[in-house]
Chain A
Amino acid sequence: MYSEKVMDHFQNPRNVGEIENASGVGTVGNAKCGDIMRIYLDIDENQIIRDVKFKTFGCGAAVATSSMATELVKGKNIQEAMKITNKAVAEALDGLPPVKMHCSLLAEEAIHAALWDYAQKHNITIEGLQKPKSDIHEGEETEEEEY
């Protein structure tokens, strides 16, 4: 059901882990539909993404898209990172089954959420970046957090 690339990124996910004192952290998805993705960014003074890590609770496609998304943003500046779409993530994985396309959307949103966090902390505006819809933590009755 999955491409070889998806299986490779699922079995050997790149950049799994956490970054202490990250420049930006974004968590998207919710436990209800079974996918939660968290991305940590380490961004230097030139706005280059020096390092990136992720943690994901989800299916094979969710893990693989997280892994691929981290590969795609690593070393990029934040404007370039903004241009990485869910389609690009899915294509880089040689495609996803139709029912799993929402997983790639989650990866795009997770990057945006982490960049939003970074922008908030540094009091800057990133062109084209909107406030993420939600940052959902464990639990049934999660509410949207206000920033």
Chain B
Amino acid sequence: MKPLIYLDNAATTKTAKEVVDAMLPYFTEYYGNPSSIYSLGSKSKEAVTDAREIIAGTLGAQANEIYFTAGGSESDNWALKATAEAYESKGKHIITSAIEHHAILHTCDYLEKRGFEITYIGVDENGVLKLDELKAAIRPDTILISVMFANNEIGTIQPIKEIGEIAKEHGILFHTDAVQAYGQLPINVDEYHIDMLSASGHKLNGPKGIGFLYIRKGVKIRSFVHGGQQERARRAGTENVTGIVGIGAAAQRAMRIMEEKTKKESGLRDYLIERIEAEVPYCRLNGDRSRRLPNNVNFSFRFVEGESLLIMLDMEGICASSGSACTSGSLDPSHVLLAIGLPHEIAHGSLRLTLSEETTKEEIDTVVEAVKKIVERLRSMSPLYEDFVKKQK
């Protein structure tokens, strides 16, 4: 077996040892229900309170503005559906972007079927939201703008502060899906005028099945789960105490190591980009070169199909991801790659590599050699490449 090279940290991350260590006592020792009156329950309650305070602190928010959920998708669903319901007397128009995660896009479809109108703002060739298009889309009945902080596929970081200012100016609520950004980039909800923010634990070396939604005090938002007083009665159900302890520990760790981690990852990221651009012909870097998540690399290789590339990388022990249709079970390639203007056949040949703080230069070198070899092999089998070569002659 070849040693595993894990470059799919945008999909999920390894739970950090210090996070697991923090969680473990809450399974077997402090297993009480936070709602119980006795001291065993109080111990759990304290842990939940501590985690909430830690997270609030990382965003410049108040503890009572943090609501724990089961993850990013739930937070996105909640933010959109509950806002739509609470503000529909004001209007039924929502603005989002063309490159959101499906947790947003499919929730928008759901709302559209229930009489809401959704405007999808386009992005430029690097995946940056078109602010003039956003301004032009605002109507008197617009109740919400939801734009992701950073894109999960191509790593482009959006002009969140500008979007927040536009929303504020027009008295419109602003939600951001920060699942990829939280823990990687410094975020301050007041500075960026963010009213709601979704995040997930397992993207920042925390456990899976836990996330949170930040809801600014004063924002009217309905309960998502009914049945108890948990999360200020807005999301009932016994708290996922171990998960909450885990996301708290993960957030604390992420803030502590952010500067160093960013420096290391972005250095290796740029090295990886540089080598691929220099050594693999007919490739294209997707996403913005400077407004980019420190750990994201996304390339399209012409004449090559993404799933084949992933299987061959897997055989070399390399875990990566693609925007190819074949990886999603549908026939269309990634909506993000199409939104930045890639033609279908080039979008099918994309490869996403997302680094962690444990990634080494040796691993990057191994990956570059593997990508070179595999792309060459797949091209030698590709009728598109054959036609291209014949045309060149």
Query: B-contacting residues of A (Cβ < 8 Å)?
Result: 7, 10-11, 13, 16, 18, 27, 31-38, 55-63, 99-100, 137-138, 140
Contacts and interface: CB of A to CB of B under 8 A. Distances in A.
B348 A34 contact: yes
Interface string B355-393: 000000000000000000000000011111111100000
Contact of A55 (B329, B344, B348, B386): B386
B103 to A, nearest CB: 22
Interface residues of B, number: 27
Those 4 A-B pairs whose CB atoms lie nearest each other, nearest first: A31-B345, A59-B326, A59-B307, A38-B383
Nearest to A100: B326
B37 interface: no
B65 interface: no
A141 to B, nearest CB: 10
Given A37-B383, A60-B311, A138-B388, 6 more contacts: A10-B311, A11-B315, A16-B381, A18-B386, A32-B331, A58-B326
Contacts of B332: 33
Contact of B387 (A33, A35, A63, A137): A137
Contacts of B305: 34-35, 57-59, 62
A10 B305 CA distance: 13
Interface of B: 303-305, 307-308, 311, 315, 324-326, 329, 331-333, 343-345, 348, 380-388
A138 B345 contact: yes
A36 B388 CA distance: 14
B381 A63 contact: yes
Nearest to A13: B381
16 contacts: A11-B315, A31-B345, A31-B384, A32-B331, A34-B305, A34-B324, A34-B344, A38-B383, A56-B382, A56-B383, A57-B383, A57-B385, A59-B305, A60-B311, A138-B384, A138-B387
Contacts of A18: 386
B384 A57 contact: yes
B204 to A, nearest CB: 29
A32 B330 CA distance: 12
Nearest to B330: A99
A133 B196 CA distance: 51
Contacts of B329: 99
Given A33-B331, A34-B324, A55 B381 contact: yes
B334 to A, nearest CB: 11
A34 B325 contact: yes
B322 to A, nearest CB: 10
A60 B381 CA distance: 12
A10 B386 contact: no
A56 B381 contact: yes
A59 B324 contact: yes
Contacts of B381: 13, 16, 55-57, 63
A124 B329 CA distance: 40
Contacts of B344: 31-34, 140
B307 A31 contact: no
Residue among A18, A31, A55 with the highest chain B CB neighbour number at 10 A: A31
A41 B384 CA distance: 19
Given A27-B383, A140-B343, A33 B325 contact: yes
Contacts of B343: 31, 140
Contacts of A7: 311
A99 B305 CA distance: 16
B72 to A, nearest CB: 25
Contact of A36 (B308, B324, B331, B383): B383
Contacts of A61: 326
A87 B304 CA distance: 26
Nearest to B310: A60
Residue among B325, B331, B381 with the highest chain A CB neighbour number at 10 A: B381
A62 B326 CA distance: 10
Contacts of A27: 383
Nearest to A36: B383
A61 B305 CA distance: 12
A34 to B, nearest CB: 4
Contacts of A36: 382-384
Nearest to A63: B308
Contacts of B303: 57
Nearest to A32: B344
B382 A55 contact: yes
A31 B348 contact: yes
A63 B324 CA distance: 15
Nearest to B382: A57
A35 B381 CA distance: 12
B186 to A, nearest CB: 39
B383 A34 contact: no
B188 to A, nearest CB: 42
Contacts of A34: 305, 324-326, 331, 333, 344-345, 348
A137 B385 CA distance: 11
Nearest to A7: B311
